[in-house]
């Protein structure tokens, strides 16, 4: 009997042999193309010049160690690029054939290398264990004993261009965002991105990782402990859980109606963007896995990389991170710089007389400061911001200028900012409304189980506010009736605000904070009432 012939012919034997085959290696997110370190689909780091003096064995050793270090998963992909970018910069500035104490002393003078001292040390220790000739012992000791630079705490200062935004600046910025959206200078995705950052103080990477399914209507039995519109942000910087893309704890928050409505428009835009670029119809379940923020370039690049590098069918990989905008791109969008075009410049700061300097970090610091000033306990704010320690929040609760700010807040009613004031046009009767023949323009207030008219909308659009449930009083298109029950609206807002002061809610994986501030709307409604009272006297109806 020919046993080899029987093995070929017997399908069961063939199956058994296949079971012993080495499984196909999953393609790495990092590769080397000659001396270019590539984060597939994201960024290429050309290290040709930096490694030019390395002998071939040392160069190959470095390159293999870089791949193995990245594969360990101790650092995010962005941090991996940051680490090797710092090596690239230091080696180009101080060329070296070997990593000795002379090189180490010079490298530590490079800002990017010094900033990454801790992570760089871990890579060098890892590499030396892999190759004893990677770096001299003295050089490694020098780097190990050197502490990284202390980061500047801009939040501790009153620098009007680096620290928190004042309440006036914050409100003016929100009003400006809505105006730009209304006239079309801001797209839906940019508007939603800015408002989410201002409302929830999320990091750019958290916004970049958002998927359509992270926005939903939760019922009372939802595991998050919330009901109604909500958003779940992917956690970041969770050292005990985070190993890769969206695998940390999720942070659940209630979503105001105006952001929910804006998200629904963005969902439809993303659906159309993917279907147009991929040339196919997507099911609802496929749409749920799409990113909230993407672009034509990202979609085309992702589908190509998935096919050629990862050998995957994009149709079954719509949840892949390559389809998402890069965190750096999100950060750039949030950094709203003046560029000489007045229609998209930030509003002027009352402190500097110049356009407000806007960045993701400033927006995060500002929101955290606002919540701390409202008396939110440290442990709640720590969880809400995704910190692992309450010590990092000290600046928000212990500010040398707090007494002066408290005085400013006490004087706020006398110094009411324009962005917080009523900006509409009073009408004596509905016939004076711009769209008086359109019933859908009528605005009503629910009270005591009844609907009472409060005025009309002069243009069907989002209003300049970030709060609910009465946004129209701060919109320039609102046309309130002089005789409407605005006082009832005011009382309802005050009751709602008292409820919001109970900021702690328990549910899901983390403590939950409801970050809805109605103070600006209360001021606007009161301003409207005052103007209505003046008009009533003129009409002799009071």
Question: Which pLDDT value is given to residue 65?
Answer: 92
Give dist(CA 279, CA 281) in Å, integer: 7
Q: How far is CA 118 from CA 30, 95, 145, 148, in A?
A: 21, 22, 10, 7
User: Is 373 among the domain residues?
Assistant: yes
User: Is 406 among the domain residues?
Assistant: no
User: Is 300 among the domain residues?
Assistant: yes
For residues 198 and 131, state if they share a domain.
no
Which H or E run contains 298? helix 296-308
Q: How many domains does the chain have?
A: 3
User: Is 21 among the domain residues?
Assistant: no
Per-residue pLDDT of the chain (542 residues; tens, 9 = 90+): 344 444 444 444 444 434 444 445 567 889 999 999 999 888 899 999 999 999 999 999 999 999 999 888 778 787 889 999 999 999 999 999 999 999 999 999 888 898 888 889 999 999 998 899 899 999 999 988 887 665 555 555 567 787 788 888 888 888 888 888 888 889 999 999 999 998 888 889 899 999 999 999 988 777 777 778 899 998 775 444 344 677 667 888 888 888 899 999 999 999 999 999 999 999 999 999 999 999 999 999 999 999 988 889 999 999 999 999 998 899 999 987 655 444 577 888 888 888 888 888 888 888 888 777 777 777 777 766 766 555 556 666 655 444 444 545 544 444 444 444 566 788 888 888 888 888 877 887 766 667 778 888 877 555 544 443 346 787 777 888 999 888 988 888 887 777 655 544 433 333 334 445 677 778 888 888 988 998 888 888 86
Which H or E run contains 8? helix 3-9
User: Which of 98, 122, 145 is where one domain is finished?
Assistant: 145
- Residue 16, burial from CB neighbour count under 10 angstroms (0-12, 13-18, 19+): exposed
Give dist(CA 402, CA 373) in Å, integer: 9
User: Is 415 among the domain residues?
Assistant: no
Q: How many CB atoms lie within 10 A of CB 144?
A: 14
Give dist(CA 171, CA 366) in Å, integer: 12
Question: Which pLDDT value is given to residue 241?
Answer: 39
Question: Which pLDDT value is given to residue 319?
Answer: 92
SS3 124: helix
User: Which residues are CB-neighbours of 155 under 8 A, at least 6 positions away?
Assistant: 163, 164, 365, 368, 369, 395, 396
SS3 content of the chain, % helix, strand, coil (to 5): 50, 10, 40
Question: Which pLDDT value is given to residue 28?
Answer: 80
Question: Which pLDDT value is given to residue 395?
Answer: 61
User: Is 468 among the domain residues?
Assistant: yes
User: Are 454 and 484 contacting, i.e. CB atoms less than 8 angstroms apart?
Assistant: yes
Give dist(CA 472, CA 186) in Å, integer: 20
Give dist(CA 252, CA 507) in Å, integer: 9
For residues 365 and 426, state if they share a domain.
no
Give dist(CA 14, CA 186) in Å, integer: 61
Question: Which pLDDT value is given to residue 511?
Answer: 35
For residues 182 and 288, state if they share a domain.
yes
Give dist(CA 381, CA 392) in Å, integer: 11
User: Are 185 and 176 contacting, i.e. CB atoms less than 8 angstroms apart?
Assistant: no
CA nearest neighbour of 488 among 458, 527, 448: 448
User: Which residues are CB-neighbours of 257 under 8 A, at least 6 positions away?
Assistant: 229, 468, 469
**What is the token pair recorded at 12?**
């069961």
295-314: pLDDT as tens digits = 999 999 999 999 988 889 99
* Strands 250-254, 228-234: pairing kind: antiparallel
* Full residue range of the structural domain in which residue 361 is found: 159-397
User: Is residue 469 reached through a cis peptide bond, with omega within 30 degrees of 0 on the bond before it?
Assistant: yes
Buried b (16+ CB within 10 A) or exposed e, 41-70: bbeebebeebbeebeeebeebbbebbeebb
For residues 496 and 372, state if they share a domain.
no
- Dihedral angle of Cα 389, 395, 397, 400, to the nearest 10 degrees: 160
For residues 273 and 364, state if they share a domain.
yes
Compute the chain's Rg from CA coordinates: 29
For residues 191 and 279, state if they share a domain.
yes
For residues 165 and 140, state if they share a domain.
no
User: Which of 364, 397, 430 is where one domain is finished?
Assistant: 397
For residues 290 and 163, state if they share a domain.
yes
Beta bridge partner(s), residue 481: 427
User: Is 169 among the domain residues?
Assistant: yes
246-302: pLDDT as tens digits = 766 788 888 888 889 999 999 999 999 999 999 999 999 999 999 999 999 999 999
CA nearest neighbour of 356 among 372, 330, 334: 334
Overall pTM > 0.75: no
Question: Which pLDDT value is given to residue 27?
Answer: 78
CA nearest neighbour of 322 among 359, 297, 339: 297
For residues 299 and 186, state if they share a domain.
yes
For residues 469 and 524, state if they share a domain.
yes
Question: Which pLDDT value is given to residue 151?
Answer: 53
User: Is 347 among the domain residues?
Assistant: yes
3-class secondary structure for 225-278? CCCEEEEEEECCCCCCCCCCCCCCCEEEEECCHHHHHHHHHHHHHHHHHHHHHH
For residues 214 and 349, state if they share a domain.
yes
- Dihedral angle of Cα 434, 436, 441, 446, to the nearest 10 degrees: 120
For residues 393 and 429, state if they share a domain.
no
Give dist(CA 121, CA 115) in Å, integer: 11
Beta bridge partner(s), residue 453: 444
The CATH number of the domain holding residue 249 is 1.10.443.10
What count of residues does the chain have? 542
Question: Which pLDDT value is given to residue 258?
Answer: 84
User: Which residues are CB-neighbours of 479 under 8 A, at least 6 positions away?
Assistant: 424, 425, 426, 427, 432, 433, 434, 455, 456, 457, 458
């Amino acid at each position: 009997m020919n046993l080899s012939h029987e093995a070929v012919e017997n399908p069961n034997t063939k199956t058994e042999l296949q079971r012993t085959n080495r499984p196909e290696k999953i393609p790495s997110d990092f590769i080397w193309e000659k001396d270019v370190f590539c984060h597939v689909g994201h960024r290429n780091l050309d290290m040709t010049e930096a490694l030019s003096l390395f002998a071939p064995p040392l160069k190959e050793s470095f390159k293999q160690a870089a791949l193995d270090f990245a594969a360990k998963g101790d650092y995010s992909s962005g941090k991996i690029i940051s680490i090797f970018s710092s090596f690239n910069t230091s080696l180009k500035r101080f060329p070296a054939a070997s990593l000795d104490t002379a090189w180490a002393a010079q490298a530590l003078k490079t800002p990017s290398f010094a900033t990454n001292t801790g992570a760089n040390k871990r890579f060098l220790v890892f590499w030396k264990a892999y190759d004893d000739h990677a770096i001299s012992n003295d050089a490694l000791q020098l780097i190990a004993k050197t502490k990284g630079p202390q980061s500047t705490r801009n939040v501790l200062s009153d620098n009007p261009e680096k620290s928190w935004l004042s309440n006036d600046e914050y409100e003016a910025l929100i009003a400006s965002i809505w105006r730009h959206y209304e006239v079309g200078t801001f797209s839906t995705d940019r508007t939603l991105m800015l408002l989410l950052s201002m409302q929830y103080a999320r990091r750019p990477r958290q916004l970049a990782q958002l998927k359509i399914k992270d926005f939903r209507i939760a019922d009372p039995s939802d595991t998050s402990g919330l009901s109604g519109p909500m958003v779940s942000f992917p956690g970041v910087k969770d050292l005990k859980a985070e190993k890769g893309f969206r695998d940390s704890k999720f942070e659940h928050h209630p979503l105001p109606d105006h952001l929910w409505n804006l998200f629904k428009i963005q969902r439809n835009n993303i659906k159309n963007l993917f279907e147009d670029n991929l040339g196919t119809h997507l099911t609802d379940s496929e749409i749920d896995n799409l990113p909230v923020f993407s672009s034509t370039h990202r979609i085309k690049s992702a589908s190509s990389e998935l096919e050629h590098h990862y050998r995957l069918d994009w149709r079954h990989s719509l949840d892949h991170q390559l389809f998402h905008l890069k965190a750096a791109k999100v950060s750039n969008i949030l950094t709203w710089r003046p560029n000489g075009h007045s229609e998209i410049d930030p509003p002027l700061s009352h402190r500097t007389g110049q356009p407000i300097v806007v960045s993701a970090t400033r927006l995060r610091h500002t929101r955290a400061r606002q919540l701390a000033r409202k008396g939110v306990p440290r442990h709640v704010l720590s969880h809400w911001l995704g910190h692992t320690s309450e010590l990092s929040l000290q600046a928000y609760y212990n500010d040398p200028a707090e007494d002066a700010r408290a005085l400013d807040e006490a004087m706020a009613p006398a110094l009411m900012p324009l962005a917080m004031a009523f900006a509409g046009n009073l009408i004596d009767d509905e016939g004076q409304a711009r769209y008086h023949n359109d019933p859908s323009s009528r605005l009503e207030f629910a009270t005591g189980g009844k609907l009472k008219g409060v005025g009309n909308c002069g243009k069907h659009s989002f209003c300049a506010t970030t709060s609910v449930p009465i946004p129209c009083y701060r919109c320039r298109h609102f046309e309130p009736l002089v005789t409407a029950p605005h006082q009832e609206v005011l009382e309802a807002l005050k009751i709602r605000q008292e409820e919001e002061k109970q900021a702690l809610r328990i549910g899901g994986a983390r403590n939950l904070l409801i970050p809805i501030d109605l103070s600006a709307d209360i001021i606007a409604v009161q301003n409207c009432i005052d103007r209505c009272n003046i008009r009533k006297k003129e009409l002799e109806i009071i």
